[in-house]
Amino acid sequence: MKIVRRIGVPPHARGSTSGANCPDVFELSDGNFAVIGTEATAELDKELPPDAARADYERIVIVSRETLVRAKADSPDA
């Protein structure tokens, strides 16, 4: 599995001056997506609705609204 492309704009285009610790979204060669975000599993796990679950190997991450909004144009329709 490899990163094929960034979905959206790079962090510096969203105002990051250092490029460090910035959320990002990537399309993978298998068609899935990978995200870089702030780890928030401990904080949000108890907030999941009753019909949502998280496997032990999964983590809840926070990605800024701006990151996802700016990624929308690059996201595939299907």
Each residue's pLDDT tens digit, 6-61: 988 777 776 666 656 678 889 999 999 999 999 999 999 999 999 999 999 999 99
Report d(CA 24, CA 67) in Å as an integer: 7
* Three-point CA angle 44, 48, 25, nearest 5°: 65
The predicted pLDDT at position 3 comes to 96
The predicted pLDDT at position 50 comes to 96
**φ and ψ of 37, to 5 deg:** -155, 180
pTM of the model: 0.76
Q: How many CB atoms lie within 10 A of CB 24?
A: 20
Report d(CA 57, CA 62) in Å as an integer: 17
